[in-house]
Amino acid sequence: MIQRRDFLKQAACTSALMLSGGLPLHAAGSRCKIDVLLNEPIGAISPDIFGHFAEHIGGVIYDGIWVGEESAIPNYAGVRKALVDCMRRLRPSVVRWPGGCFADSYNWRDGVGPRHQRPSRANFWINTGFLQGAPDGPAKYEPNHFGTDEFITFCRLIDAEPYLAANVRGLSARDFHEWVEYCNAPAGATTLARQREAHGCRDPFRVRFWGVGNESWGCGGDFTPQEYATEFRRFTSWVPHFDVAPSFIAAGPNSWDESWTRGFFEALTRRGKGYLNRVYGWGLHYYCGTAGKGALDFGPDDWYELLRKGAAMDRLIRNHWTAMGEFDADHRVKLAIDEWGTWHPAGTEVHRTHLFGQTSTLRDALVAALTLDIFNRHADKVVMANIAQLVNNLQSLFLAHEDQFITTPNYHVFEMYAAHQKGQSVRTEFSAPDIHQGDGTLSGLAGSASLHGKRLVLTVVNPSITETRETEILIPGATVREASVRTLSHHDIRAHNSFENPNVLIPLDGRARITGSDLIYAFPPASAVRLTLDLV
C-alpha cells in the first residue's frame, strides 16, 4: 500500500504527471475515506451503459457523422474518419438512431435505395426558432442521404450495436414490422431482404434493440400512458424474429413523472403479467439542464448547482425503480436511460445551423463522470444509457464543422470510464465533507468501483473547486500490488477544448508507488480520476 509520508514525498516529484493542470497535492482539512467492499457485488456492468445517441437534428448527422463519399474530408464510406477513429478507442457498445423526436416523423423507406433517388423532407425541427434565418440545408430539409444502410455501416465501423427507434406517432405497426424484416430477414428470403441486397447489403443487419416510439407523452404522439401501453402491445405483437430475438425499449417518462411509469405498467399488466416479457428496457429521459447564464458563463455557485442536478440521477433511478416494482415485483424490466445530459442556452454552438449545439467544459465532464458512476452503482437496475448526443448537440463527445474536428472533455470521461465495462460492480462507500450550496447538498467525493478478476477499477469525482481530498482507500481482503492513475482536471472550471486549442483539457497519466500497508491518494480539486489497481 501507499504510505502517506512516502506518497507525499513522491508527489512532490510526480504531481505534474499524476494531476492535470499542475494542481498541487496537499492535505485537506480532514481525512476522507473510500471503502471498497469486494464481497458485496451489485451486478455486472453492461457495456451498453456507455451508449450513444445520434439524431437527425442540427449538425449531428450532416456536418457531424456524415460527410459523404465524395467529400475531401477523410471518410470511411462517407462517415467522417476522425470520428470513427476516436469512437473505436471508446469501445462503444450501442448507438441509438434516428431520434429523438425526429424518429416519430421518420419513414425508414425514405432512407434506403440509391441516394440520388431518395426524397427530401422537411425536418421535424424546421420550425424551431433557433433555425429561423439560418440558411436552408439538412438542418431544415432532410436529404435522407444517411439512412438505415449508412447507419448500420457506421455501427459496424465502430463495432457498436444499432438501436433503432420506431415511428409510433406517424406510421403503422405494419411499417415497423417491415423495417424489422428489411433489417433482419435472411439473405434472399423475402422481398424486403432482396431489396436490401439490391441496395448493397446482402447479409442481415441482426438489429436487436428496437425503441417503440420516443417521448410518447409529448412529441411522440401526446399519448396518455394508458394509450401508449395499447400502442406498445400492438407494435410488439408477433414481430418476426428472424433468429434475432428483439429487445424492445418502451418510451418511458419525462424525468420525474412517476405517474407515467405507474400508468403504463398498470395498463400493460392489466391483461396479465406476461406482457412484461415484451419490455427489455424502460426508457427514462433526464436532462439536468444548466445553471448560470450559459455553457461558458457561470460561477462557483452555478458549478455546484449543476453538479447537484446531475447527481439527482441517483434518486431518479430509485424512484422509478420503486414505481416499476409495484407491477413487476421480480423486476424483469430494467431501466434504459436513453437520453441524458446537460442542456445549456444557445450561444456557444460552432455553427449557425447546429441546433442545441453547445461547448462542453470541465463542468460538463464532471456531470458525465458523476452520471456514469451512478449507472455503475445501479448496475442491477440499468441495462442501457445513451448520452445526448454524439456530436454537435447538447453534451456531445465531439464538435465538428466541415474539416474541423475536436474531442470534448466528455469524450475523455467516456474513454476513462470504458475500463468499467463488463466488470462486476461492487459496493463502495465514500466518506468526505459534504458541499453545501443554497438549499442543496453535494457529496464531497463520489464514484464507483468494478472488479475484473484481480484488477480493480475505481473512478472518483472530487467536485470541490478548492479542496484537494486526501483519501484513505480501504479494500478489505486484498492488497494492492500496482496502481496506475488517469486524471482529468484543470485549474479553470470553465476550461474547454476548441478548434483553435483542442488540447486544453485532456487527461494525464501517472503511477502510484506501492509501499507499506496504507493506500492514500490525494484527489485534486475539480477532478475525475481513474485508479486501476492490480490486486493480490
Q: What percent of the chain has pLDDT over 70?
A: 94
**Range 4-44+425-535 classified under CATH 3.30.930.10:** no
Single out the residue of 296, 393, 298 nearest to residue 347, CA to CA.
296
Note the pLDDT of residue 526.
99
Say which residues have a Cβ less than 8 Å from residue 39's Cβ, sequence separation at least 6. 476, 477
- Give the pLDDT mean for 11-23: 32
* Residue 255: pLDDT band with limits 50, 70, 90: very high
DSSP 8-state assignment for residue 66: B
- Grid cell listed for 60: 449531428
Q: At what angle do helices 225-235 and 173-184 cross, to 10 degrees?
A: 40
Note the pLDDT of residue 512.
74
Distance CA 411, CA 497 (A): 11
Domain ranges within the chain, ordered by starting residue: 4-44+425-535, 47-421
Task: Tell the burial category of 167 from Cβ atoms under 10 Å away from its Cβ (0-12, 13-18, 19+).
Answer: buried
- Give the pLDDT mean for 125-149: 95
| pLDDT higher than threshold 60 for residue 254 | yes
Give the CA count within 13 Å in the CB-facing half-sphere of 180: 27
Cβ-contact 96, 56 below 8 angstroms? no
Q: What sign does the CA torsion over 409, 411, 412, 416 have?
A: positive
| pLDDT higher than threshold 70 for residue 12 | no
Say which residues have a Cβ less than 8 Å from residue 287's Cβ, sequence separation at least 6. 255, 339, 340, 341, 342, 343, 388, 394
* Residue 5: pLDDT band with limits 50, 70, 90: very low
Residues 441-457: pLDDT tens digits? 999 999 999 999 999 99
Residues 315-328: pLDDT tens digits? 999 999 999 999 99
- Give the pLDDT mean for 486-493: 98
| pLDDT higher than threshold 50 for residue 6 | no
- Give the pLDDT mean for 27-44: 85
- 45-74 core/surface letters (b: 16 or more CB in 10 A; e: else): bbbbbbbbbbbbbbbbbbbbbbbbeeeeee
Distance CA 47, CA 110 (A): 32
* Residue 511: pLDDT band with limits 50, 70, 90: confident
* Residue 288: pLDDT band with limits 50, 70, 90: very high
Note the pLDDT of residue 2.
36
* Residue 133: pLDDT band with limits 50, 70, 90: confident
Residues 48-94: pLDDT tens digits? 999 999 999 999 999 999 999 999 999 999 999 999 999 999 999 99
* Residue 16: pLDDT band with limits 50, 70, 90: very low
Say which residues have a Cβ less than 8 Å from residue 490's Cβ, sequence separation at least 6. 20, 21, 362, 504, 505, 526
- The reported pTM is 0.93
Task: Tell the burial category of 133 from Cβ atoms under 10 Å away from its Cβ (0-12, 13-18, 19+).
Answer: exposed
Catalytic site positions: 215, 339
* Residue 13: pLDDT band with limits 50, 70, 90: very low
Residues 376-394: pLDDT tens digits? 999 999 999 999 999 999 9
Q: What sign does the CA torsion over 61, 62, 65, 66 have?
A: positive
| pLDDT higher than threshold 90 for residue 7 | no
- Give the pLDDT mean for 176-199: 98
DSSP 8-state assignment for residue 229: H
Give the largest CA-CA distance in the chain: 73
CB count in 10 Å sphere of residue 476? 9
What string of DSSP letters covers 465-501? Answer: SS--EEEEEE-TT--EEEEEEEEEE-S-TT-B--SSS
DSSP E strand stretches across 315-364: 334-342
* Residue 233: pLDDT band with limits 50, 70, 90: very high
Q: Tell me the CATH class for 47-421.
A: alpha beta
The residue to which cell 465501423 is assigned:
157
Cβ-contact 120, 141 below 8 angstroms? yes
Note the pLDDT of residue 516.
67
- Give the pLDDT mean for 372-377: 99
Note the pLDDT of residue 477.
92
Note the pLDDT of residue 151.
99
Average pLDDT of the chain is 93
Residues 430-440: pLDDT tens digits? 999 999 988 88
Query: What is the 3-class SS of 139-165, one letter each residue?
Result: CCEECCCCCHHHHHHHHHHHCCEEEEE
Note the pLDDT of residue 517.
64
Distance CA 471, CA 358 (A): 35
* Residue 18: pLDDT band with limits 50, 70, 90: very low
